[in-house]
Homo-oligomer: A and B are copies of this chain.
């Protein structure tokens, strides 16, 4: 039930009860008052509109007579069904076809689309400890924690920052204090903050291909984007010196989409470049560092950063669940000061309740257990997909780099990428052209990205079989 704000004309043209009656009728007809919705009591509406109660009585009476509303004993007046369903459906239909510019939502069920979708963004939620999450949430909301409903610290609550700080150090070798951590609702938001910190019109270097979302965000900042070619070690640093670049955006532990892992030598080159200029910085996006399957752990680039040149960004959306809108940014102390001057007054975008839940989830060891579990699951899928792709070895070069949630297939032959995507689609398999991630001229050979996070082993088998029919 809602208040009804009615602008009553007192010029006497129409009597008040008629105006109220017509307003409510219109509300119902136009689907703003939905069927089953309770109307205000005549008394409260009369008080609210400051008219005589009898006026509202007459209006309601009229609506009753005409069947727009019904009276339920002891409960009050309710809106009748009418064509409400139709109206609602219409609304829903409108919303369910978002304009093509809007990203498609990842919650389609296989049945709907009949697709084997090798999306590199999909993750496996089957292993998520919903029960634990629910339990922690329940405990977090017990009456002892009412202060959680009050405003928190702009950078995020200290306890969570301490936990993240220690997690990053032990798992990624990141060196920082909780004071350097900014908690925010997603990487996109943190990058928006970063614009305020780094300033406008910054010339920024990105690998080609790269993470398209970050590219579009930097574009929306009107940053001048210098695209840098890659070799097998990642970004070629020579161009950084040639061009007037101030910031370089890299994914050293697992570049998207190529999967390249940046060796220590190249990392040192990058740090040397950054060290060569007062205002030069490196943005390290450590987006899926949690999922490495073979070989020794590779620390973050930030771990080798001795001159405070690395801005480290990571998220829990990939390792826990996309709905967990919590990302973190580690700022070099110099930028931290600028953050406090420029953005210190922005309130934190993550509710303290969610921060506490996440903090408990990590502190109690559930996060680590979950990561180990998912690492096993993804390692198995990774291996399975590699096996299933053996038949393709003749015509495709397969690169996976023992990490992450996707592989890259590069055609040795002359097929075009569009051709590969189309023929796969005909077999109801969705693969993603590497050119989706291109931010400059093509790479020559056709290549496609195969993500396996969202598919179960059966789907991986079936999907690759179909790809075989399509491509071999």
Contacts and interface: CB of A to CB of B under 8 A. Distances in A.
B178 A149 contact: no
A167 interface: yes
A196 interface: yes
B128 A133 contact: no
Nearest to A165: B32
A324 B91 CA distance: 27
Contacts of A317: 151
Contact of A146 (B130, B178, B342): B130
Contact of A101 (B95, B148, B297, B344): B344
Nearest to A296: B50
Interface string A350-367: 111110000000000100
B220 A342 contact: yes
Contact of A351 (B91, B148, B295, B325): B325
Interface stretch (A136-144, A397-405, A457-465): A136-144
Given A91-B162, A296-B50, A349-B325, A147 B101 contact: no
Contacts of A471: none
Interface string A183-195: 0011011001000
A185 B184 CA distance: 10
Interface string A71-105: 00000000000000000000110111011011101
A368 interface: yes
A417 interface: no
Interface in A195-245: 196, 200, 213, 216-217, 220, 222
A1 B154 contact: no
Interface in A126-178: 128, 130, 133-134, 137-138, 141-143, 146-155, 158, 161-162, 166-167, 169-173, 177-178
Contacts of A99: 340, 344
26 contacts: A3-B170, A4-B170, A5-B170, A5-B173, A91-B162, A95-B158, A95-B162, A101-B341, A101-B345, A102-B154, A102-B344, A103-B345, A103-B347, A125-B150, A128-B146, A130-B149, A134-B142, A137-B137, A138-B138, A149-B321, A151-B323, A188-B346, A200-B222, A323-B353, A325-B348, A351-B354
Q: For the complex formed by this chain, how many copies does it contain in all?
A: 2
A57 interface: no
B105 A32 contact: no
A32 B4 CA distance: 58
Nearest to A304: B7
A63 interface: no
Given A92-B158, A103-B347, A137-B141, 6 more contacts: A2-B171, A101-B340, A105-B151, A130-B146, A186-B349, A217-B345
A457 B99 CA distance: 52
Contacts of A48: 297
A107 interface: yes
A96 to B, nearest CB: 8
B341 A2 contact: no
A133 B141 contact: yes
A299 interface: yes
A266 B294 CA distance: 69
A149 to B, nearest CB: 4
Contacts of A35: none
A387 interface: no
A419 interface: no
A46 interface: no
A171 B137 CA distance: 32
A323 B158 contact: no
A395 interface: no
A322 interface: yes
